[in-house]
A and B are shown apart, each in its own frame.
Chain A
Amino acid sequence: MDQLIDAFFNIDVLLRTKEFYLYGLTTSLRLIVFSGMCAMGWGLLLSVIRNSNLRFINYPIIVYTDVLRSLPILANMLLLYYALPFVGISMSSFWAATIALSLTGGAYYAEIFRSGIEVIHRGQTEAARSLGLTYLKTMRYVILPQAIRVVLPPLTTNTLEFIKSTAAASVVALPDILNEAMQAQNVTFSPTPLMVALVFYILVCYPLVLLIEHFENSYHKR
């Protein structure tokens, strides 16, 4: 047991490597918040466009969401970061990670928002339109407020998965918490820094897990 604590929860190592985490922590939080907002916005935009039922826009969106949902996020990131510079488009690892996460996350979010929009009866759209609201206003004031409430549980689950997938950014050399922890681990030869990264993600994600549990329980009670 002592040996275990010495390896995985070593206070000495923790204090020696603390500069690593402070920087990694802010990078990770910035990435999670920024790319999360981009992904959600992009997903919402895609679902609203798709609901307009214009066939020549719809099919590209369907293909886009399905292709990106079948491509692992890591492959997407590597493509943006390692492949695009060869054709003259290069970006920092933060932007490569953000764009990859937004593209893939947006595809997942779009599907969720779409399923919410489809639940709202057509009659509501027709009523709003006949009152003289434009398509976008109908969406903004009538459909989306209800649709988002309906899809709150899957939205939470997806956000949890999204936050977990941001850890992949360490592979494209973004100095996030995992990347910094791996560097600290290389210096100290101790798995303690990796535990720090794990604890960070658990602290961020555990409230969402509890929220999902709450949704599941209230669904069963109904």
Chain B
Amino acid sequence: MNLRALAEYFFNIDIMYRALPALLSGVWVTVKVSVTLMVFGFVAGLVLAVMRTSHVRYLSRPVNILIRLYVNLLRASPSLVLVVLVYYGSGFIGIELSAFWATVITFGACLSAFAEEIFRAGIEAIGKGQVEAARAIGLTHLQTMRYVILPWAIRAAIPTLTNSSIGISKDISMASAIALPELLKQARHIQALVANPTPLIEAAIIYVLLFFPFVRLTSFLERKRTKKGSKHI
């Protein structure tokens, strides 16, 4: 290994410059997929959490079991396996999914499993007294949810939810396996064209630039939280 090879193959300015437009279009795809799947994941997670915490007679038990199975199975499956399965398997049930939608559905489902758990923890953390008070002044169950419980639960869920959303957005790189033209796929494509790994290095730098602030932010938030409730052993 010498410095000239390093400059030629890892930090080739010429190739970096030429690859930049394609990589930036990859970033745009990653952002588009992330935003779409976050909308799906949050809404689905919230609906599931509300369903799971509502106590409707005869119905709540089977619903509970089904949601728990859904969440646990999704938590136990690697997103790479899932995204490949959804992409190739969708044709067999008569739906031709594009790589974009296969990614959104897979990762949206994964995020909804996380979001369900987080929202449920938020809902369950609210004191019974508040719910009883709301019901006593004549609010229906849904109204209690809408005006009393959810505003608080959603606010409490935001830090953890940000954390898992970032994790999922980073995992979108797995969708390069089904040829979604996101950042990593673009980098591999150009790398194969020019027979030089510089685009991979460039993609890695872009990833770090994109996600480093969030990683710092979450460790900062975590630090703040542990300091507030600092109980040493």
Q: Which residues of A contact B (CB under 8 A)?
A: 3-4, 7-8, 66-67, 69-72, 74-76, 78-79, 82-83, 86-89, 111, 115, 118-122, 124, 146, 150, 160-161, 163-168, 170-171, 178, 182, 185, 190-191, 194-195, 197-198, 201-202, 205-206, 208-210, 212-213, 216, 220
Distance A78 CA – B72 CA, assembled complex (angstroms)? 30
* Chain B residues, Cβ within 8 Å of A182: 84
Describe B's contact surface by its main secondary structure: helix
Q: Which of B77, B124, B222, B226 has the most CB of A within 10 A?
A: B77
* Chain B residues, Cβ within 8 Å of A79: 197, 200-201, 204
A70 engages B208 (CB within 8 Å): yes
- For A210, give its contact among B72, B171, B232 (CB under 8 Å): B72
Please give me the residue from chain A that is nearest to B214 by CB atom: A70
- For B1, give its contact among A89, A118, A202 (CB under 8 Å): A89
* In the complex, number of A-B residue pairs with CB atoms less than 8 Å apart: 154
- For A7, give its contact among B73, B93, B124, B203 (CB under 8 Å): B93
Distance A118 CA – B216 CA, assembled complex (angstroms)? 18
Distance A74 CA – B176 CA, assembled complex (angstroms)? 9
Tell me, rounded to whole Å, the shortest Cβ–Cβ distance linking A10 to chain B: 10
Describe A's contact surface by its main secondary structure: helix
* Chain A residues, Cβ within 8 Å of B9: 83, 86-87
* Chain A residues, Cβ within 8 Å of B72: 206, 209-210, 213
* Chain B residues, Cβ within 8 Å of A72: 170-171, 173-174, 184, 207
Q: Given A8-B89, A86-B196, are A66 and B219 also a contact pair (CB < 8 Å)?
A: yes
